[in-house]
Amino acid sequence: MRCCKNLFRSFFCSVVLLLAAQGAQATEISVRNPQLEANEDGYTLAADFNINFNSRLEEVVNKGVVLFFAVDFELTRSRWYWFDEQVIRRNKTFQLSYHALTRQYRLSTGALHQSFTTLDDALHVMSRLRHWQVLEKGEIKADQTYLAGLRMRLDLTQMAKTFQVSALANKEWNLSSDWLRWSFSPMPSTESTPAAGVPTSPSAPPVPAGSTAPTTPSAPATGEGK
């Protein structure tokens, strides 16, 4: 009986460790140092990602399959009387591929294309997000506090249906980060604000045409010359 209990305990511990390993493997991307920076057009986003590429995905890329990585950004505002309001939702897609003829990896986003000799170099560039315009002028209010959120994920919806079916049954395809959220308060506009420490003076009233501007009477002379 004691032997059976020990076997059952060992089996149970093995299952728990296996499930924990699978759960850890499902999240292989992490987000670090997100920053919203003000510019003339609104706000740009900069962030770093830790991307742990597993051997299965590396094998798929080397066989010529294009992988799509999506970066999701959102801005929400809490409301005490209802659900949180989603103010902004932005999406940026990276395409990672390998070309056997040139023996180079290619990373594309929008109209920008870059080639690399190694997969690590391509992943390094993809992990450094810079100057992404996520907020335009007038989309947010300076007197509000928002909750910003950011994540990166392997976007299976843009792949062929055969790969989508395979990915649903394989943990190695579940490459995604958790949402990283932080509080964000926009900077007040300074376009019409006078410089600090410089007092403003009221402008003189307009002078009608054909008349002379009134002069300020001079101060009476002191008694020194009497």
pLDDT exceeds cutoff 90 at 12:
no
Q: What is the mean pLDDT of residues 179-184?
A: 96
pLDDT tens digit string along 13-37? 443 333 334 444 444 899 999 999 9
Q: What is the mean pLDDT of residues 98-104?
A: 94
pLDDT of residue 168: 63
Residue among 100, 117, 98 at smallest CA distance from 108: 98
pLDDT of residue 173: 78
pLDDT tens digit string along 116-159? 999 999 999 999 999 999 999 989 988 899 999 999 999 988 88
Q: Which residues contact 48 (CB under 8 A, 6 or more apart)?
A: 31, 32, 33, 127, 128, 129
- Name the 3-class secondary structure at 92: strand
Residue among 134, 148, 138, 145 at smallest CA distance from 185: 145
Tell me which of 89-103, 150-164, 184-198 is least confident.
184-198
Give the Cα separation of 183 and 64 in Å (integer). 41
